[in-house]
Structure formats: structure tokens, C-alpha cells
Amino acid sequence: MKIGFIGLGVMGSRMTKRLLNANYEVVIYNRTKEKMAPFLNLGAEAAESIEDLSEKADIVCTCLSMPEDVEEVYEVVFQHAKAGTICVDFTTVGLDTSQQMSEQASKKGIHFLDAPISGGPEGAEAGTLTIMVGGDKQTFEKVLPAFQVLGENVQHLGKSGMGSVAKLMNQYLVAVHSLAASEAMVVGTALGLQSEQLYDILKSSYGDSRMLRRHMEHYVLDRQFAPGGAVKYVHKDVRLANVLMEQAGLSEFTGNIAQDAFNIAIRSGHADEDMSAVIKPLEKQSDTIVKK
């Protein structure tokens, strides 16, 4: 089967490379055409357009930025893909978007799986991603060998949209834990503790978290904020997760505070920096810097 891959960003580029290295026949398309060049030497075929890719591929994969990007791309894909094509969206979007895409695909005789991913660029490169899949079980099983090239924790979670629900719950924790870890580090440092010593205490205590370790060890203490996952994307994700919170009947939840904090970071000029830069407006408020 020929796999089409649309979106060669931080995650999509690494996933495409793994598929090529596993000897899959891959046709690629990216809005910025220059990003396709390195993959041609690895054996990929360049599509002239989304229409071209949709007509050639048996499986169409997308890894995009925003829900509106998904809607725009699949409007074209559904018009040009042949009946029986399987579409796999790795993008983090809302439950409603995944369900709408599935319904539209079904009307065209096309299969659609929402399959958001977690694990960051390092997981995409190593093939250790978590892949959360919603949609038809038989369709999932057809794509499973390719999923297993990309991830080591691949789970079918039920009907369309359930992959997106699982991913947004993960992103809810990413946002909330990121903010809580930032607050703790800023306050402790502002009140006189040495940042590295405080971090050493926290990471060996019950206050430890994966986000605390990620942010402090790879970004904050070294004051290096090149994005692994940008502030603007975490803001998008927690905003979508908060919609699910309301749908589940919760009226007060910590995600609202996290959404506000990431929004402040965006307004402060940190939208394209790593998500750990949510700490910067807090540092400014407290007139302190968390660093080595």
C-alpha cells in the first residue's frame, strides 16, 4: 500500500522518515515545498498538490497544526481520494472536528481514523510514540503495522473521536503540570532557594512530574527555549480540552487557569517558544529568574 503524508513539520518529518526506512512506499506533500527535498533522497515521491497525493495514496496521513488546517486539507482529500482510502489524522484537534471528518469521509466511502500522538520529536524519531486511535476497529487493524513503525504504545480506543479525547486529556495534564511546576520553581527561587537545589528536591519527592523534569532539565535552567512543543500549540490544546471539561459537566477546573497562563505567555511574545516558556511571565511578575 502507498502511504501519503501531508505535513512535514517537527513531528511529521520524523514519522515520514521512519516509514521510508521501514521500506514503505511514501508520497509526500508539504505547503513549503523546500521541506520535501530531503525525503526525495530517501525514496519518497513528491506530490504536486494535495489533490495529486489524494489520488495516488491508499492511506492518507496528516500531521498538521490547527483544527482549521485539518478541515481545509480534508475538504480537498475527500473530493479526490478513491473509495476505500484510509485517512489517518495525527493532529491534535477537538472531538467535534474528528467526528465531523469521520462523517464526511463515510459519505464518500472513505475510512477515517483520528490518531493523535504523544512523545515529542524524540519519540517520533525513535519510533516510541503513544498513538491514540479512534474509529473503525477493522480499519485500525489494517493500518496497525504502519502504526507500530511509529509508536510502541498503540491503542484502539473506540469510536471516532475517542483518540482525540484521550490526547486532549493528556494535553490538559501537560498544560496544568507545566504551570504548576513553573509556579513552584519561580516562588521557591524568589523566596531565596537556589533553583538547582529546589529542582533536585522536587524531582525526588512526591511533587515530581514528567513536565517538571522536561522543562527544568532541557529548557528552563539552561535558558534555552527553542520549541519541542510551542506555547501556542499547548494553549490550543488546553483550550480544546477545556471544552470537553464543560461537556462532561464540570463548572470549575484548573485548566481554565492554565489556559489563561498560556494566553498571557502568547501575549508576552512567547508564542513560538517552547511550552516551558510559560514560566517567563511568572518570572517577570516575581522579578526572578530560574536558572543554573
- Residues classed as catalytic: 167
Sign of CA dihedral 18, 146, 161, 5: positive
Q: How far apart are the first and last CA of the chain?
A: 51
Report how far residue 223's alpha carbon sits from residue 108's, in angstroms, rounded to the nearest whole number. Answer: 50
Percentage helix, strand, coil for the chain under 3-state DSSP, each rounded to 5: 60, 15, 30
| Ramachandran sector of residue 114 (left: φ over 0; alpha: ψ -120 to 50; beta: rest) | beta
Sign of CA dihedral 219, 224, 225, 227: negative
Under 8 Å between Cβ of 268 and 163:
no
Residue 257 identity (one-letter amino acid): I
Q: Where do the H-state alpha helices sit in 151-230?
A: 162-190, 195-203, 210-215
Residue 146 identity (one-letter amino acid): A
Report how far residue 224's alpha carbon sits from residue 176's, in angstroms, rounded to the nearest whole number. Answer: 21
